[in-house]
Amino acid sequence: MFGTTLTLAIRSIRRHLLRSFLTILGIVIGVGAVVTMVTLGKATTSAVQQQISALGTNILQLRPGQGFGRGGGGPRPPDFKPEDVEAIKNQIAGVTGVAPQASSAVTAIYEGANWSTTVRGTTSDVFKVQPWPLVSGRYWTPAEEEAGKAVCIIGNTVRTNLFRGGEAVGQRFRVGNISCDVIGVLSTRGQAGFGGDQDDTVIMPIKAVQRRFTGNRDIQLMLIGVDQAYSTAAVQASLTDLLRERRNITGGKEDDFNIFDTKQISDTLTGTTTLLTRIVAAVAAISLVVGGIGIMNIMLVSVTERTREIGIRLAIGAVAREVLMQFLVEAVALSCLGGIVGLVLAQLIILALAPLMQVPWTFDPQINMIAFAISAVIGVVFGYFPARRAAALNPIDALRHE
């Protein structure tokens, strides 16, 4: 019985192809929009998490000033000193390493090629606090770090633009006004969410940068690794107390430094993108309701057009539930067809947009199954009233209908 009813429904759909397509258009748009928004939203969230994780896990970033800038209109907050680094290492429990950084914008030159980049001076602790594997070469030795030798490790962007993608380890090039020996090439990290191209960097021992570029002992940034067994919030509180004491901040004065927890940043950005995805998906889901109303309207028209057919079926022995099933199956078939077309359309849109948004293409079976199931439910809900109306027709009145 069900097979016969389904066959009749498919014949009715094929008989009016253009009308059937216009009927399911709302479902197609609704399913396509919901699946596209949710899938791209999840991909964006995943990309944000990967970018944050590239900064390292369980890391506190310490900067002078307020926010990422230097604060408001007051005096410029002082940078940190090497003594601050030692105090943090020795007095704060749960700290696995402290990597101070001093940086300067420079022009790198090699055999006629030049590239504007940033030279970052730091200690070997940076590779423990914020692991960054090498694709070739080595890290500098403790002796090279202590002596402030002009050795450097470069990012892939610098290697590509200076050495044309060729072998860089063992080569010597100019960084600003000094010659530097390349001892290593870092693996590719790509773009950071708020830090630009992470691969566009030249990393040197901090003493070499302070001596040759900045001309002072100032430290502009610290990366502080926190033991997994310790709460980053507790370490952050201890760090705040220590720095307020060392920087003579008393009473109700505001801090002239800022501590960023990478985990908190990740949680905040993830929560924001997830919320936006849900809002956009909810708005897109309205199209599903509109599509359901369209199906109900067309099915009501179909009942009116086929009143005489319904009367003949009832007159030759069909029961009301069989007529109801026929029109209900037809509505569900239309809705499911719209769901399938919407899913295909969504995947095509995702394939086109994912490269533009620089997020990976992913196929989420769960959201696709849920969207298809909702389209089927909409067919049942909005198709029931027309089907019930058809089943309730009086056979004699239906046969008299012109």
Binning the chain into helix, strand and coil, the percentages to the nearest 5 are: 55, 20, 25
Check residue 99 and give its pLDDT: 92
Do residues 239 and 281 share a domain? no
Question: Is 361 within a domain?
Answer: yes
Do residues 108 and 178 share a domain? yes
Check residue 192 and give its pLDDT: 60
Question: Is 262 within a domain?
Answer: no
Does residue 68 register a pLDDT over 50? Answer: no
Do residues 134 and 196 share a domain? yes
Do residues 11 and 143 share a domain? no
- Of 197, 221, 255, which marks where a domain is finished? 255
Choice between 281 and 175, residue whose per-residue pLDDT is larger = 175
**For residue 322, how many C-alpha atoms fall within 13 Å in the half-sphere facing its CB?**
14
- Of 204, 230, 255, which marks where a domain is finished? 255
Domain, as residue range, for 285? 2-51+267-400
Do residues 284 and 380 share a domain? yes
Question: Is 117 within a domain?
Answer: yes
33: amino acid identity, one letter: A
Choice between 271 and 38, residue whose per-residue pLDDT is larger = 38
Check residue 167 and give its pLDDT: 87
User: How confident is the model over 315-327, as a mean pLDDT?
Assistant: 73
Does residue 227 register a pLDDT over 70? Answer: yes
Do residues 110 and 237 share a domain? yes
Domain tally for the chain?
A: 2
Check residue 400 and give its pLDDT: 61
Do residues 286 and 236 share a domain? no
> What average pLDDT is seen over the chain?
82
CA–CA distance from 245 to each of 78, 87, 385 (Å)? 14, 11, 74
pLDDT band with cut points at 50, 70 and 90 for residue 150: very high
Check residue 3 and give its pLDDT: 65
Does residue 308 register a pLDDT over 80? Answer: no
400: amino acid identity, one letter: R
- Of 205, 221, 255, which marks where a domain is finished? 255
Do residues 297 and 207 share a domain? no
177-219 pLDDT per residue, tens: 889 999 999 998 776 655 567 889 999 999 999 999 988 989 9
DSSP line for 343-399? HHHHHHHHHHHHHHHT------HHHHHHHHHHHHHHHHHHHHHHHHHHHT--HHHHH
Do residues 299 and 369 share a domain? yes
Question: Is 57 within a domain?
Answer: no
Do residues 226 and 294 share a domain? no
| 8 Å CB contact between 217 and 210 | yes
357-384 pLDDT per residue, tens: 777 777 888 888 888 888 888 888 887 7
Check residue 70 and give its pLDDT: 47
Do residues 26 and 118 share a domain? no
Check residue 52 and give its pLDDT: 65
Question: Is 42 within a domain?
Answer: yes
Farthest CA pair distance, the chain? 105
Do residues 308 and 211 share a domain? no
